[in-house]
């Protein structure tokens, strides 16, 4: 099938979905109120709570939820065939992921910008709040540590990306100063900032920077150290100083990259060489239910509920903007995942080098995806997309060195945004947890951030190479997707208490809990049979916490419909 047709069909479906299903949810289910006072205004502190214009907040929200998630997942799942991958991306993002992100943001907006985990106390009960916060802490613990590794790997493979990624920091600081201190219009200033960033991309392509091995640590370990120090600083600065302007630049970068990819698809229009379906690739786990875990951010991801209710809700200036930011942001992420499928399933056919030989056509795909092991290493996951995308963009006449650097910067920049946001979110979670257990001193900004970064550092350096987070990475996928189901559960109970129809969140919730619970049981069985006792014990504890939370929540939902509660709590 022609890749251009796939991209066009997906784009049309997403536009139709936003203007029909999305607006229906905003109008009839969540009943958005343009006159409601948002937490960004009510609790404004110009550090975390800052009223923000929609284009800027959209940039922050999208780049935070995207990261490398919609790239890595589809780049792996295409081994089962591009058709099942695209079906899940389209159906999942429209009817599950976008509803999940949108709902989490709305509920938080109506409850002082509190996280979905903290809100579980009011919506469900206090026991569930602790359970939920512990699950979230575990997930973010892995995310902060692993994204340092992701960026480090990109820097190692594509050293031309180093200079542009770090030069984006002073450019973003300048942009924030011009918009918030000087009152300059955000659009022209951001265009200047993006032009400056692309100048650094060209320079970086010809001036690669490599981290040397020192003091017994390899290059990746040193990059992890640098990135965790950066995460501490960035996540404690006021959002308008670095986070917002950098994410706004990255959102422009996204549109430029998507535009170049679309033009590349139009000019090259490569045919899909990936199989339409391959239910039994060599060494792969069963497609069902694992495809729903592997393709997370491209369809639905529990991490998104943390962003929606953790940072975006604290910056949203009007309740009605949550539709385009929450629902629309997820659809755009689905479009990015679509381009990943096209790049890995068709763009890679234009040329893939391996072992000193360049392969084209079906042979290129086969060389990369000949087996599950061959296509799932972190470097392989990223290179399939980067090489496939660069191949298509090169057809526009851009030099190969620049296109490779361009896509490397694209991946690293988005991963850096997720690292920053995840660290800030972990600070909020630590604050909520320590407050709940009676240690208020640890809930302050710097102690909470220190706990977030130090725990990630300990995990990362449980192996001297700085990649210790990879030890627990096999637990992340199922945990993250079960978190999505739990977030939908909290949103469903919120709607039930408000006497609003719950089927729009209940059906996705049931689907996610069943499918990812099934995947978690498969993982636990594999961990047990493989004597991977650390993974088995942590996974089992997490699974028990999640089952406990589900039971508690369903009991509350039963009471709501059994009319055994007298009134809805005012805080909800």
**For 503-529, how does the pLDDT look when each residue is reduced to its tens digit (9 = 90+)?**
999 999 999 999 999 999 999 999 999
Q: What is the model's pLDDT at position 563?
A: 57
Mean pLDDT of 262-277: 92
Q: What is the model's pLDDT at position 571?
A: 43
Q: Give percent of the chain with pLDDT exceeding 90.
A: 56
At residue 67, does pLDDT exceed 80?
Answer: no
CA dist., res. 430 & res. 469, Å (int): 19
pLDDT band at residue 117 under the 50/70/90 scheme: confident
Q: What is the model's pLDDT at position 284?
A: 86
Mean pLDDT of 126-145: 87
Q: What is the model's pLDDT at position 564?
A: 44
At residue 567, does pLDDT exceed 50?
Answer: no
Q: In whole angstroms, how large is the CA radius of gyration of the chain?
A: 22
At residue 377, does pLDDT exceed 80?
Answer: no
At residue 376, does pLDDT exceed 60?
Answer: no
Mean pLDDT of 251-255: 84
Mean pLDDT of 214-225: 92
CATH number for region 3-562: 1.10.4160
Q: What is the model's pLDDT at position 353?
A: 77
Ordered by start, the domain boundaries in the chain are: 3-562
Mean pLDDT of 453-466: 90
Mean pLDDT of 45-52: 93
Contacts of 179 (CB under 8 A, 6+ apart): 56, 186, 189, 240, 245
Q: What is the model's pLDDT at position 485?
A: 92
Mean pLDDT of 25-41: 96
Contacts of 473 (CB under 8 A, 6+ apart): 142, 146
Q: What is the model's pLDDT at position 347?
A: 92
CA dist., res. 32 & res. 50, Å (int): 20
At residue 253, does pLDDT exceed 90?
Answer: no
> Which residue would you say has higher pLDDT here, 1 or 237?
237
Q: What are phi and psi of 354, to 5 degrees?
A: -155, 130
> Which residue would you say has higher pLDDT here, 369 or 84?
84
CA 197 to chain CA mean position, Å = 23
Q: Output the CA torsion sign for 429, 431, 434, 438.
A: negative
């Amino acid at each position: 099938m022609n890749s251009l047709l796939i991209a066009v069909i997906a784009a049309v479906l997403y536009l139709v979905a936003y203007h029909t299903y999305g607006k229906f949810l905003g109008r009839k289910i969540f009943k958005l109120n343009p006159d409601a006072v948002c937490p960004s205004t009510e609790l404004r502190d110009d550090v975390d709570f800052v009223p923000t214009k929609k284009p800027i907040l959209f940039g922050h929200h999208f780049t935070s939820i995207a990261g490398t998630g919609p790239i890595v997942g589809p780049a792996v799942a295409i081994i089962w065939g591009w058709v099942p991958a695209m079906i899940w991306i389209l159906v999942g993002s429209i009817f599950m992921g976008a509803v999940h992100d949108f709902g989490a943001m709305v509920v938080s907006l109506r409850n002082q910008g509190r996280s979905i985990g903290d809100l579980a106390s009011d919506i469900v009960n206090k026991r569930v709040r602790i359970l939920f916060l512990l699950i979230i802490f575990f997930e973010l613990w892995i995310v902060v540590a692993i994204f340092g590794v992701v960026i480090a790997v990109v820097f190692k493979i594509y050293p031309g990306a180093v200079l542009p990624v770090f030069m984006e920091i002073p450019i973003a600081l300048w942009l924030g100063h011009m918009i918030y201190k000087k009152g300059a219009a955000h659009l022209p200033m951001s265009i200047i900032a993006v032009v400056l960033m692309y100048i650094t991309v060209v320079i970086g392509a010809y001036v690669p920077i490599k981290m040397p091995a020192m003091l017994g640590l390899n290059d990746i370990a040193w990059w992890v150290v640098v990135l965790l120090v950066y995460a501490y600083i960035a996540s404690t600065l006021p959002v308008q100083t670095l986070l917002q302007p950098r994410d706004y630049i990255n959102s422009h970068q996204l549109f430029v990259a998507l535009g170049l990819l679309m033009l590349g698809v139009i000019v090259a229009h490569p045919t899909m060489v990936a199989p339409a379906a391959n239910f039994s690739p060599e060494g792969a786990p069963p497609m069902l239910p694992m495809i729903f875990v592997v393709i997370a951010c491209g369809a639905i991801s529990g991490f998104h509920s943390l962003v929606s209710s953790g940072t975006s809700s604290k910056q949203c200036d009007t309740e009605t903007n949550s539709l385009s930011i929450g629902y629309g942001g997820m659809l755009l992420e689905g479009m990015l995942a679509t381009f990943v499928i096209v790049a890995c399933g068709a763009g890679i056919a234009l040329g893939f080098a391996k072992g000193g030989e360049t392969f084209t056509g079906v042979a290129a795909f086969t060389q990369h995806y000949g087996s599950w092991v061959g296509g799932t290493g972190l470097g392989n996951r990223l290179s399939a997309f980067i090489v496939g995308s660069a191949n298509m963009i090169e057809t526009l006449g851009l030099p190969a060195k620049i296109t490779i650097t361009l896509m490397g910067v694209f991946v690293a920049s988005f991963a850096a945004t997720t690292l920053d946001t995840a660290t800030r979110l972990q600070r909020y979670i630590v604050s909520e947890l320590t407050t709940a257990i009676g240690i208020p001193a640890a809930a302050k900004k710097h102690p909470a951030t220190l706990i977030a970064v130090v725990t990630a550092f300990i995990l990362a350096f449980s192996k001297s190479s700085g990649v210790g987070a990879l030890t627990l990475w096999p637990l992340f996928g199922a945990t993250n997707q079960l978190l999505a189901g739990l977030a939908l559960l909290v949103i469903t109970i919120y709607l039930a208490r408000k006497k609003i129809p719950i089927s729009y969140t209940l059906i996705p919730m049931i689907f996610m809990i069943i499918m990812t619970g099934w995947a978690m049981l498969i993982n636990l069985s594999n961990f047990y049979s493989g004597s991977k006792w650390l993974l088995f014990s942590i996974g089992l504890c997490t699974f028990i916490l999640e089952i406990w939370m589900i039971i508690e929540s369903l009991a509350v939902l039963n009471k709501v419909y059994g009319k055994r509660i007298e009134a809805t709590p005012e805080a909800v």
